[in-house]
Structure formats: structure tokens, C-alpha cells
Amino acid sequence: MIRLRDIEKSFKTGAGETFVLRRISGEVQKGEFVTIMGPSGAGKSTLLSILGMLDGDWRGEYYLFGEPVHAMKPRARIELNKRYIGFVFQQYHLLDDLTVYENLEIPLSYRNVKRKEREAIVADALDRFQIVGKKDLYPSQLSGGQQQLVAVARAIIAEPSMILADEPTGSLHSSQGRMIMDLLKQLNREGTTIVQVTHNEEYAAYGDRIIQLRDGWIVEE
Amino acid sequence: MDQLLSDIRHALRHLRRAPLFALVAGTSLAIGVGVNAGLFSAVNALLLRPVPGVDHPERVVEVGRSNQGRGFDTFAYPDYLDLKSEVRAFRTAAAYTFDVFAYSDGGEGSRVTGMSVTPEYFSVMGLTPERGRFFTADEDAPGSRPTVAVVSHDFWMDRLGGGVDVVGKIIRINRIAFQIVGVTPADFRGQTTGVHPEVYVPLRMRPALRNRGEEDFTNRGASWHMMVARLAPGATVQEADTQVKAVYARLAQAYPRTNRNRSGAVVPLGLVPGPGRGPVKAFLSVLMGLAALILLVTCANVAGMFVARASHREKEIAVRLALGAGRARLVRQLLVEALVVFAVGGVVGTAVGVMLVRSLPVNRLPLPIHVSIDLSPQAPVLAFALALTLGTGLLFGLLPAMQATRLELTDSLRDNGSTQGGRAGLMRRFFVGGQVGLSLVLLASAGFFLRALDRAGQVDTGFDPRDGYVTGIDLDLEGYRGEESAALQQRVLERVRALPGVESAAMSADLPLDMSRMGTGVMPEGWTPPEGQRGLGTDFTYVSTDYFATLKIPILHGRAFVETDDVSSEPVIVVSRTFVDQVWPGEDGLGRQVQVEGDHEPWRTVVGVVADVKGRFITDRPEPMMYLPLEQNPHQRMDVVVRAKGGIATVAPALRSAILGVDPSLSLNPVLSLESSSSLGIFPQRLAAGLTTALGSLALLLSALGVYGVVAYALSRRVREMGVRMALGAGSTRLALLVLRNGLGLALPGMLLGLPAIVVLGFVLRAFLLGLSPLDPVALVVVPGTLLITVAAACAAPARRAVRLHPMEALRSE
């Protein structure tokens, strides 16, 4: 599903070039649950951003479902992102001015799904995540766990093939964290590929395999 | 459409959640759009609107006479006949003149606005009578005395009660009985803005109404007719203009004495008559230019606010992009938000602007006739406001929207603060700098006009209007003739002079600074005219005894007119200093003689020289002026001017009652103070000063807000830096100066760009500035100084916040 070859990212600095990622190569198979770990500054989130096409400034080769992302223009990358990828962030990143319902609806709206169809899909998601009663609440009216629940629901609402989760439990209590990880695992069992970044050994174990990064290099896989 | 509605819904929700932002941005735009919409409604009313009620007004033209290629003047009747018959581009043409008539229904007389017209006038305008008929060709026959009148719809309704028997009714105009034969349609209120003729009479009746002979219809030197024409099918204004010029070239050869150097010009019919259109256009262009500046200031202010707001919403925008929103989609969403704010500001501004302009006291101008300009909102005004709102909304909404969506997503989604701070900051600085520069130009224009107004108060007008009051009597309108008129004028003066509190009283056919002047050509004794000139062009007026004393016009040499300067004595005149300086330099002019152009005019002896007085406008340069004694030169239309203590509330009724005591049926002009009547001469400066001061103050306020916003925002992002500086030993003065330097750094580039613009502005406005230098120190030093002080004041609150920061809290700040 994902094939990376010699991915590098660096910044020009006064002293020369500072590398964030060095010669990252590897593959992620369809239906895998992969965990990326490493100390702060290792390049975990940057790698996730490149996978999710949030970052376009890197070198190397990246194939997603056989399509060469590295050769694509930004607009084509956005289309690819919309077709295959859902995001879960550590800080949930729900849109404060939108209700739970509208937060779930927005990825569908960006994919030009018709209104009637959107209503049906959002209703299903609300039901599935058992948050029907909260559909008219704003994010500020929800607990952290509830917000992340909505964020996961939002990430999968457009039925992406892959969820990229950047420390999805980083801001949650342990019980809430476990609930989210169970949810991700269940989604994975249902066929969704998951790549998560985490510092937490317990949650890392939810994955099928762990990639260790340090100073931009893959040190263990 | 669904997405657009959703964007609008979200935009409204965003604005509800940021009411202060919505209020400040909306108000700011309302001011900018309102000023422009209001002024444009005046432009539309005066220059763009077709004349209401006229059939196909684009096919109607005004014809004017030029002298040596300049001007747009009135015609002699024989010239009109030649043009009418020879210009093939005219389907039909009409001669007319505006008049003020004395209308009486038995009691005290009143003034009505009227026109004397040839029968073709109504067909040129394409009118169909609402009642009865218009004039026939018989009623234009030489020697006829057609006592028939057409009245306007409003006159019929308001003065005659709107009865169905209006046709056939008898009304008295200038004491002559006229039978009403028709009524003009309700939607036609005259061809000139502000002046709504109420009574139309045949042009052939004008000599009888004005106590003049028939020679005005045969004399090519008597130019007092105006002319309109309807173009022949397919003919253009340019063709008509060329043909009129060709006819005038022939007339100049055939009648060199009267028509030498004369030509004609054709312009489309407009609500401002041909001669006034140029100055009105120039003045309104200056005002619209200033209004455009205030719009730019407000737009820059709002755009700066959008940039700041987008910085606060950076994370939201990043999330949306991460969720799959295309950049175009987000730009559209942000643009819709901007357009909603612009639309609210535009609607409120248009409504308030148009309402304010409509409430302008145009009808309270000190004029002898009632003037009202229709400033009701018209479709073009609304279209202009809509275009302005959408245009500025798209332009000033698009830039911040595009800026806001240029993000480094990875950084924006982390809690690393702004990734676009640098670019957005630069854009805000650009907007604020632009605002400051534009404000400087607006403030400088206010400075120029205020200085001009101040100068107007110091300009030596040559007379003293204080304690002066004026009204007018037109004896042509009242049916008085010859000696009867002179006797009435004498009795009026006697009664007025006898009033308690009156120091002196006099009559004059024309007063200084009332926007009008009479002119003629004269041949002074011993003076050789320059090449190509037959005589000296001079302004003139007829005055009674005591005129110079009443207006306190200084007598420089000789004497004023006395009782014995009458028809039995030698013809005499008094002239102005400029008159003497031009024709007899180095002399006092006393005893010299002057002949007015004309076949039977006597030589008149100069008995006095007086100081120059301002003619039409305060900006006028001194021109030669000649005063003729009323007793030797009977004149029917005279202003009565008195110098009296007690104020207008006391003087006005006493003056009216004294004059009406002589003849209760006289119709008088309203009594005005001389200060008010002569204020017409500085009306353009006063209007411009008032408007530019208001606009300049607004611009100053908006600039201060803009600077405050950027400096406060910059400080909020530098709190930790401030903490570090404090920890390193920076004192409060140093921190305050840091903030101040930030603010002044924003303003200075704009000011540096604005300064050369001020000098250019000074040269552009020079004609209005009463000799003020375009390098006026007030404009170049005081105005920028004021702006700098204001900018510094705008930095005060952020500076105060900076010095009050607690170092440890500042260091912990994110």
C-alpha cells in the first residue's frame, strides 16, 4: 500500500543543512497497524505528515497504492489525501465553531458528497460511535475523551483506506486512551490500515509492528 | 449553491461569535461605502441622471454661444432663428429664458419660478400636456401679445387646488392677466436640477412682462436667450456641433460688429446647464477623489483586521486543509466571510450615506428662489454602491484569504504558534502603512481647505457685511414703469432709512459675493485697447446714494454719489481702483470720462474711486468695476441693503413691513443677513472644508485603530521576548520605546509616500485655496506632525501593557 524509498527532509540553516529525516525506506501493507516510536525530535510526526501529504517539501520516492506521490503536483496530492487518508491528532483539532454533527459532516462536504447522502452517513457515524445525543454540542462542551472520539469518527467518516494518528491518546487519561486505542484496533480489524505515532509502550503494542526512529534515521524495525 | 449557502451560514455564525470584530469592520466599511454612495447620489442627481419626464432625453441638446472659443453663453434671438433654420442636425429647436415672476392671487404677492419659451420648447422636450394644450405658432408671431400660460402639475395642485377647471382659469403674472391653456405632465419638473418652473409663458410676452421693447427680437447684440434642440433622426451631437460652428462662422462674417469672435457649442441635455457643468464636474471629481481615499483607508483597515483574524484562525484553517479542503475552497469560504462583512457595511453605509445627503439643507441656501435637488436613491446609486461593495470586498477580502491559506501544515497543526506570522505581519504592515499614507493625504486636504476658509475670513473683500441685511424688489414683476418705479424706490428708501436702528440704507442692482455679476464693455478716455480688443470689459452695477457708506466700501479718491447726481445733471460714475490702475496707471482717474459700448451712450465723468470688492467668489481676482447712479440710470430689479443694529429677528420684519407699507402687494425676496448672502461666495471652500475635515478625522481615527491593532498584536506575540529582555535588565522606558518604535516604523513608510502626494494635492487644489502655497507649512509640517502624535498615542496602550508585564509570567507565555 505504501512504499517509501530514501525519503529525506531537511532545513537550510546558517551553518548548512539540518536533516529531520534521513534515507527513510520501507513499506506498509494494506490492513497493517504500524506504530512509529522515538524520542522527541526524532522525526515521527514529520514522517506522518509526509505520509498524509500535509508536507510536500521532501526528497525521495513515495508510492501510495502504486501511485508516485513524489511526482505529483500539490492539487493531485490533495485529491489522493481526500481519497485514501483520515487523520487523528493529539489535540483532536475539532473545529470550535462547528457542532459535533458539523465536524463530522465537513470531510464529506470537502469531498463533494451530496447533502442527503451526507446526512445519512453522519447519522450512521453518530449511531456507531454512540454520540447521537451530543450531535448539537460544540467541542468545548465535550470532555477530552469525547472530543477524541468525535475526532476518530471524523477521521473515518469518509471511509479512508488508512488512518494516520499522531499521538491520539497524548492528551487523554489512561481509561480514555484505552478506549480510543480499542476503537482504532477495531477499525483495523475491519480493514482500515493504521499508522500511529506514540510515546506510550502500552499503546504501541496495539500495532502489528513498531518502527523506531532516532535523529531522523530508522534505527529498528 | 448548497456549499455557498453553507459558507454564508458559517460566515454569519463566525461573525456572531466575534461581535466586536463584526461591529468595527462593518462600521468602518459603512463609513467608507456611505461617504462614496452619498456623494455619488449627488453626482448622479447633478451629472448622470437623464432629465426626468423628457422623451428620449439623449436626443436633446443644449446649444451655447462661445466668445473667442470660451464660455457657453446665451444667444441673440436672430442668431437662434438662423441656427434653427440652418442646422440640419436639429429636428426642432426652441429658445427660452428662465424668469422669476410675481404671482398674485389677490393678497401679498409671491415669487414663482417661470420660463418664457417659444412654442417648440414642449416638442423639443417631447411632452404631452396633462391638461389642455401647449403654445401654438400663432402665439409666437412677431408683434403678438399672447396672454396665455402653461402651468406645472405641482403649481396646479399646490397653488390652484388641483381642480378640473384649471384650463381657462385666469392668473396674474407681473400684474398681467394670463389665461391658463395647459398643464405640463407630473413627471416633468423642468430641465435643470433644483429649479422647477411653475409657470410657462410665450417668449413673445417677455418684453411686456419685463418692460422692454420688441428690439430684443431683432438686435443681434441682445444675447439673453438660451436654446435647446432635439436632434434629427440619425444625427449626432458632434454633427450638430460642427453645423452650429459653421453657421456661426457665416454669422461672424455677415455681422462682424456683433458676431466677431463668436462661435457655438452643442452639449447633451443635462440637469446642470451647460455653462455650470464643467465647474460642477471639477468640484465633484475632487470630492469623489477624496471619498475614494477614505474608502481605501477603511478597506485597508478592514483587510488588516482580516489578516489578523486569519492569524488567530491558522490552526482551524490547517485542520480544514488536513481534512481535505482544497485551497480554493477555503479561499472561497474566507472570501464569503469577508463579503458578508462588506455587504453588511455596504448596505448600512449606503442607506445612511444617501439619507445624510438627502438631509443636506440645499433648499436653505441663501438664494432668492426655492431650490430643491432630488437626491432620492436611484438605481444607478444603488448599483454603484453594490459594485463598490463587491469590488472592494473581492479585492480586500481575497488578499487576506489567499494569505491565510498559505500554511506550513505540519507546523500549524502542532502547537508551534503561527507559521505565517512573518508574511501576515508584512501584509498587515503594508495595509497600515497604506492607511497612514492615505490618511495623511486626506488630512492635508482638510488642512488646505481649513486654511483657505480661515484665509477667506481674513481676505479683504472690500466691504463690511456685519450688521448688513438685504432683500430684493423686482419692479418689472410688479408692473411699475418709468417714473412710477423711481418714485416707489425713493419712497422705499425713505421709509427704510427712517426705521429705528437703521444707520444707512441703499439700493444696488448687484451685491458683492452673491455668485452673480453684470458685465459690459466700455471705452475709457485716452486708453488704447490691446490688439484685437474693442473696449475694456468691466463689471458694473447701478447703486443709489449711500451705497458705499452702507457697505462700508472705502472711497479712495473723490466722492460717492449724491442726491444731485440725477437726470438733470452731468452723467457721472464711480470706478474701482483696479479700473483706474488698468486704464490710467499712475493717475487718480478723477475727471476722466468713460463711454459704455452702444450707439447713444453718453460720456460719463469719473467722480470717485473706491476700493476693489470681491465679485462672484472669494477667489476672484480684482476686476475693473464701474458704479452708475440709480437716479441717472433707472433700473427695475434692485436689492435693498440696510446697515442696522438688532439682529435679523428684529430687522427682517421691520424691513419687510416698511417696504410693504409703500405697496402691500409687492413680492419681496426673503430678508437675509449680508453675511449669509455673501457666504455664497465661499460656499465651495466651506463645503470642501467641512467634508475633508470630517473625512480626515475619520481617516485619522481609523489609522490610529490600525496602528493600535498591529502594535498590540505584535506585542502579544512578543510577550516572551519582553520577559527575556526584562530578565536581562531592560527598563520600562526601553520597553515602551521598543513598542513606540514598532508603531512609528509602521507609520513612517506611509508618511514618506504621502508627503510628495500632499505637494501634488496642493497644486491640484490651488484654484480653491485663495493663494495658499502648495508648499504650505501647515500641510507639510503640522499635518504630518499631528498624524505622528496620533500614531504615538495609538501605541500608548500597548506600551503600557509592555511595561506592566510581570517578567516570570512573560517568560512562561506561549
Q: Taking CA atoms, what residue in B is nearest to A51?
A: B410
Interface confidence, given as ipTM, is 0.77
| Range list of H helices, B105-165 | 120-124, 153-158
Confidence band (pLDDT; 50, 70, 90) for B407?
Answer: confident
User: What was the pLDDT predicted at B371?
Assistant: 58
Q: How far is CA B548 from the centre of its chain?
A: 31
**Partner-chain contact A93 B319, CB within 8 Å:** yes
- Cross-strand bridge partners of residue A27: A3
In this structure, chain A runs to a length of: 221
Confidence band (pLDDT; 50, 70, 90) for B372?
Answer: low
User: What was the pLDDT predicted at B646?
Assistant: 86
**Partner-chain contact B6 A78, CB within 8 Å:** no
Q: Does B313 touch chain A (CB under 8 A)?
A: no
Q: Are strands B176-183 and B148-151 parallel, antiparallel or unpaired?
A: parallel
Query: A88: which chain B residues are within 8 Å (Cβ-Cβ)?
Result: none
Of B311, B399, B445, nearest in space to B717 by CA: B311
Residue B559 CB partners (closer than 8 Å, separation 6+): B607, B608
B809 touches B723 (CB < 8 A)? yes
User: For B581-622, how does the pLDDT look when each residue is reduced to its tens digit (9 = 90+)?
Assistant: 999 999 999 999 999 876 678 899 999 999 999 877 776 778
User: What was the pLDDT predicted at B380?
Assistant: 87
Mean pLDDT of A105-125: 90
Q: Over 60: is that where the pLDDT of B365 sits?
A: no
Confidence band (pLDDT; 50, 70, 90) for B108?
Answer: low
Query: A75: which chain B residues are within 8 Å (Cβ-Cβ)?
Result: 326
User: For B217-254, how does the pLDDT look when each residue is reduced to its tens digit (9 = 90+)?
Assistant: 888 877 888 999 999 999 999 999 999 999 999 998 99
Mutate to test the interface with A, among B15, B407, B410, B419 (most CBs of A within 10 A): B410
Q: How many CB atoms lie under 10 A from the CB of residue B277? A: 18
Q: Considering chain B, what percentage of its residues have pLDDT values greater than 70?
A: 93
How many CA atoms does the CB half-sphere of B425 hold within 13 Å?
17
Q: How close A33 comes to chain B (CA, Å)?
A: 21
Write the DSSP string, chain A.
Answer: -EEEEEEEEEEEETTEEEEEEEEEEEEE-TT-EEEEE-STTSSHHHHHHHHTTS----EEEEEETTEEGGGS-HHHHHHHHHHHEEEE-TT----TTS-HHHHHHHHHHHTT--HHHHHHHHHHHHHHTT-GGGTT--GGGS-HHHHHHHHHHHHHTT--SEEEEESTTTTS-HHHHHHHHHHHHHHHHTT-EEEEE-S-HHHHTTSSEEEEEETTEEEE-
B801 touches B742 (CB < 8 A)? no
User: What was the pLDDT predicted at B414?
Assistant: 67
User: For B508-560, how does the pLDDT look when each residue is reduced to its tens digit (9 = 90+)?
Assistant: 998 888 766 777 888 899 888 877 667 788 889 999 999 999 999 999 999 99
A84 touches A193 (CB < 8 A)? no
Of B301-310, B367-376, B659-668, the range with the highest mean pLDDT is B659-668
Query: B409: which chain A residues are within 8 Å (Cβ-Cβ)?
Result: 49, 54-55
What are the cell numbers at B707? 496602528
Q: Taking CA atoms, what residue in A is nearest to B326?
A: A78
Q: How many CB atoms lie under 10 A from the CB of residue B649? A: 7
Mean pLDDT of B440-448: 86
Gap between the Cα atoms of B566 and B570, Å rounded = 8
User: For B159-188, how does the pLDDT look when each residue is reduced to its tens digit (9 = 90+)?
Assistant: 899 999 999 999 988 888 999 999 999 999
**Partner-chain contact A97 B3, CB within 8 Å:** no
Mean pLDDT of A32-47: 91
Gap between the Cα atoms of A6 and A28, Å rounded = 15
User: What was the pLDDT predicted at A209?
Assistant: 93
Q: Does A32 touch chain B (CB under 8 A)?
A: no
What are the cell numbers at B106? 389677490
B452 touches B768 (CB < 8 A)? yes
Residue A88 CB partners (closer than 8 Å, separation 6+): A148, A151, A152, A155, A163, A164, A165, A166, A168, A184
Of A139, A142, A216, A192, nearest in space to A1 by CA: A192
User: What was the pLDDT predicted at B641?
Assistant: 94
Between B472 and B276, the more confident residue is: B472
Q: How close A107 comes to chain B (CA, Å)?
A: 6
CB-based burial of residue B621 (10 Å sphere; 0-12 exposed, 13-18 middle, 19+ buried)?
A: exposed
Mean pLDDT of chain B: 85
Q: How close A30 comes to chain B (CA, Å)?
A: 21
Mean pLDDT of B572-580: 95
Q: How many CB atoms lie under 10 A from the CB of residue B455? A: 16
Q: Does A40 touch chain B (CB under 8 A)?
A: no
Gap between the Cα atoms of B266 and B278, Å rounded = 14
User: What was the pLDDT predicted at B534?
Assistant: 72
Mean pLDDT of B809-813: 65
CA angle B271, B83, B262 (to 5 degrees): 85
A157 touches A101 (CB < 8 A)? no
The pTM score is 0.70
Q: Which of B204-213, B629-638, B649-658 has the lowest mean pLDDT?
A: B204-213
**Partner-chain contact B323 A106, CB within 8 Å:** yes
User: What was the pLDDT predicted at B569?
Assistant: 92
Q: How close B1 comes to chain A (CA, Å)?
A: 11
Gap between the Cα atoms of B401 and B306, Å rounded = 8
Q: Over 70: is that where the pLDDT of B698 sits?
A: yes
**Partner-chain contact A110 B324, CB within 8 Å:** yes
B676: three-class secondary structure by DSSP: helix
Mean pLDDT of B736-743: 88
Q: Over 80: is that where the pLDDT of B460 sits?
A: no
User: For B332-351, how does the pLDDT look when each residue is reduced to its tens digit (9 = 90+)?
Assistant: 988 998 999 999 999 999 98
Confidence band (pLDDT; 50, 70, 90) for B107?
Answer: low
A28 touches A63 (CB < 8 A)? no
- Cross-strand bridge partners of residue A9: A21
What are the cell numbers at B678? 455673501
Q: Which of B84-98, B364-378, B493-507 has the lowest mean pLDDT?
A: B364-378
User: For A175-207, how does the pLDDT look when each residue is reduced to its tens digit (9 = 90+)?
Assistant: 888 888 998 999 999 999 999 999 899 999 999
Q: Does A58 touch chain B (CB under 8 A)?
A: no
Between B414 and B541, the more confident residue is: B541
- Cross-strand bridge partners of residue A19: A10
Q: Considering chain B, what percentage of its residues have pLDDT values greater than 90?
A: 33
User: For B7-63, how does the pLDDT look when each residue is reduced to its tens digit (9 = 90+)?
Assistant: 888 888 888 888 888 888 888 889 889 989 888 888 888 888 888 899 999 999 999
Of B123-137, B729-743, B767-781, the range with the highest mean pLDDT is B123-137
B442 touches B756 (CB < 8 A)? no
- Cross-strand bridge partners of residue B200: B115, B150
B415 touches B281 (CB < 8 A)? no
Q: Over 60: is that where the pLDDT of B366 sits?
A: no
Between B614 and B362, the more confident residue is: B614
- The single-letter code of the amino acid at B171 is I
**Partner-chain contact A110 B410, CB within 8 Å:** no
CA angle A210, A213, A216 (to 5 degrees): 150
What are the cell numbers at B498? 427712517
b or e along B680-698 (b: 16 or more beta carbons within 10 Å of the residue's beta carbon)? bbbebbbebbebbbebbeb
